[in-house]
Each structure stands twice: as C-alpha cells, then as structure tokens.
C-alpha cells in the first residue's frame, strides 16, 4: 500500500512539472542552441533523478509491466516535445516513442551532420567582417557562428573569439584593436566586447 501511494505521488509529481521553468530554451534548427537546450535538460534529468530514462542503461522492453515507470517516461517525452520547434518535432516524432528514443533522435538531428555544419560555419566565422554593422550586431553574428561551432564539437576558444572579433572590426576602430591587444592581463571576449561598446 505504501509503495503504491509513493508511486502515485511520483507519477503525479512528474506529470505536473512545468518543464518551461527548468528548460527556458526551445530547440530550433535555425538557432544554434542545441548545447544550451541539452544542458538544461541534462540538469533537469539530474535534478529529478531521471537519468535512467535517457542514458540507455534501462531496456524499456523490460519495463512493459512497470506502469509507473512508463507513465513517467511518457511525461518526459511530452517535456521534450514541448521544448522543440515544430520543424524539429516533425523530423523526430514517432508514435509511442520512449525518452531514450526521442532524445537519441534529437541528438542525431543536431550532431549527426556535425562535419557538414562545421564546414559551413568555420569559414563564415573566420571571414566575418563588421562593415557597417553596429558593434552589437557584429557581436551577435560572431556569437551565433561560435555557438554553431560549439554545438558541432568545434568550440572557439576565448582567445580565438577576441582575435576574430578584432580582425573583422571596421578600420575606424583601429585604436581599439591596439588597446585590446596590449591589455595585461589579456581581455576576455566579454571584456573586449564591453570595451568596444
């Protein structure tokens, strides 16, 4: 009786969680946010003790009689579906999918073509020039490309971000380039950006 009561409380608890308060990022093909999205979900899985649903250590075929586990698994699948864009959902949705199945499908969508995405983003990142862009717009484009590279396993170092930002600056900021380059200790990317702003 106690175990049944505990299972009922657990199932109700997971069904009532508003995942948007724990994962404030909607995964989208057009936004380089896979790393942020998956990190927030990983934190939620740890926080709520749900790693066995996503890490592949549990064979769901052995759980077909465990109604409570299956209900919690279905609740987590609904969390995943709620935090992805319509395009991502259409690419991965399957009837009666498990959390492990959905999580793996999403991961493959974003990391499966990592080399192709890196091949596109890397030259664009290194050739980006400020031109007539405001510093904030230039920063946003650099950050978007760097985030894309990070998502595909090719992260740009802090030093690389500073160097690339300085190399692409409009020539009217030449005096700023010198100041940032001679700073001791060296400026971080955020410090250099704030200095430019």
pLDDT the model gives residue 2 = 36
Q: CA-CA distance, 181 to 126, in Å (whole number)?
A: 18
Please check the confidence at residue 53 and state whether its pLDDT lies above 80. Answer: yes
Check: pTM over 0.85? Answer yes or no: no
- Average pLDDT value for residue range 116-125: 87
pLDDT tens track for 132-171: 999 889 988 998 899 888 888 888 999 999 999 999 998 8
Where b means 16+ CB within 10 Å and e means fewer, 58-70 reads bebeebeeeebbb
Question: Residue 27: beta bridge partners?
Answer: 84
Q: Which two tokens stand for residue 55?
A: 């890490």
The band of 1, judged by pLDDT with boundaries at 50, 70 and 90, is very low
- Average pLDDT value for residue range 82-96: 95
Q: Which residues contact 76 (CB under 8 A, 6 or more apart)?
A: 14, 50, 53, 54, 99
- Average pLDDT value for residue range 67-81: 93
pLDDT the model gives residue 64 = 87
Q: What angle do CA 95, 99, 103 make, to 5 degrees?
A: 100
Please check the confidence at residue 27 and state whether its pLDDT lies above 70. Answer: yes
Helix (H, G, I), strand (E, B) or coil at 27: strand
Cα–Cα distances (Å) from 47 to 42, 80, 107, 149, 180, in that order, read 8, 16, 21, 28, 41
């Amino acid at each position: 009786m106690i175990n049944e009561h505990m299972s009922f409380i657990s199932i109700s608890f997971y069904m009532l969680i508003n995942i948007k308060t724990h994962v404030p990022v909607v995964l989208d093909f057009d936004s380089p946010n896979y790393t942020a999205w998956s990190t927030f979900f990983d934190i939620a899985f740890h926080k709520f003790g749900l790693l066995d649903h996503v890490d592949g250590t549990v064979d769901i075929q052995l759980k077909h009689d465990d109604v409570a586990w299956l209900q919690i698994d279905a609740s987590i699948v609904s969390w995943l579906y709620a935090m992805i864009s319509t395009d991502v959902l259409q690419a991965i949705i399957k009837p009666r999918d498990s959390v492990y199945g959905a999580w793996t499908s999403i991961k493959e969508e974003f990391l499966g073509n990592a080399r192709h995405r890196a091949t596109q983003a890397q030259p664009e990142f290194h050739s980006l020039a400020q031109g007539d862009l405001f510093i904030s717009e230039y920063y946003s484009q650099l950050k978007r490309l760097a985030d894309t590279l990070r998502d595909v396993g090719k992260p740009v170092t802090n030093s690389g971000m500073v160097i690339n930002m300085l190399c692409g600056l409009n020539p009217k900021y030449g005096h700023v380039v010198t100041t940032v380059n001679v700073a001791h200790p060296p400026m971080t990317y955020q410090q250099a950006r704030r200095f430019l702003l």
